[in-house]
Amino acid sequence: MGVMTTNATIDSKLVRAIADEQLANNVFMIEWLVKAQQQLSLQQRLIDQQQQQISTQQQEIEKLKEERDKLKNRNSKNSSVPPSSDQLKKPSDKKKRKKGFKRGPKYDHPGKTRNGFGQPDKIVPLELENCPVCGGSVERDEVVPEKVQQVAEVVDQPIEIREYRRGFYKCPSCG
């Protein structure tokens, strides 16, 4: 019977040791949960403060928008602003036009076009050596005609007419 009691004592000590270990683990877990709960409550307080701040700022934004709209729509008719400070508003095209009339020249209207000054005194060819974009060499595009621009300048003679002839070029590198 003595061996039985010794085994029972050992078993009860082992059970007690396991129970003590589980109790220590439970206490540790409870302490951890309490700390986590404290952190969560701190974070919730911070969130509540931020929500309050956002709400206050939103109200302030709405007030500022209303003030801006009031200031934007001020003129001499609804405030003490002098009439000279009123913004000029151009009437829309539809209001300008009379109904039933089309815009532009009427049919069979003789057109008028400037045809230049006649025979130029000087012709200045404008040549392009490098591409202005990439700096590479350029080739003259013979398909597109030259752009001709006449300039009349007052000089010692009554008028000197120069004609500038500018060819069209394209770069083989960048197009």
Rounded to an integer, what distance in angstroms lies between the CA atom of residue 25 and that of residue 17? Answer: 12
Q: What is the pLDDT, as a whole number, of residue 95?
A: 60
pLDDT value of position 52:
95
CB atoms within 10 A of CB 118: 9
For each successive 10 residues of the chain (175 residues), what is the average pLDDT? 64 83 90 93 94 96 92 81 75 62 77 77 84 86 84 73 82 79
| Helix or strand (DSSP H, E) at 163 | strand 160-166
Q: In DSSP terms, which residues pair with 152 in a beta bridge?
A: 161
User: How much is the pLDDT for 40?
Assistant: 93
What are the CA-CA distances from residue 160 to residues 19, 58, 150 (Å)?
116, 70, 10
In the three-class reduction of DSSP (H, G, I as helix; E, B as strand; rest coil), residue 35 is classed as: helix
Sorted by where each begins, the domain ranges of the chain are: 13-74
pTM above 0.85, yes or no: no
Looking at residue 65, its pLDDT comes to 94
The residue whose two tokens read 């509540």 is: 48
Provide the pLDDT for residue 34.
93
Which residue pairs from 17-23 have beta carbons closer than 8 angstroms and sit at least 24 positions apart in sequence?
A: none
Cβ neighbour number for residue 152 with a 10 Å cutoff: 13
> Distance between CA 74 and CA 68 in Å, rounded?
10
Q: How many CB atoms lie within 10 A of CB 138?
A: 19
pLDDT at 119: 81
Handedness of CA 65, 67, 70, 71 (dihedral sign): negative
> What pLDDT does residue 46 have?
95
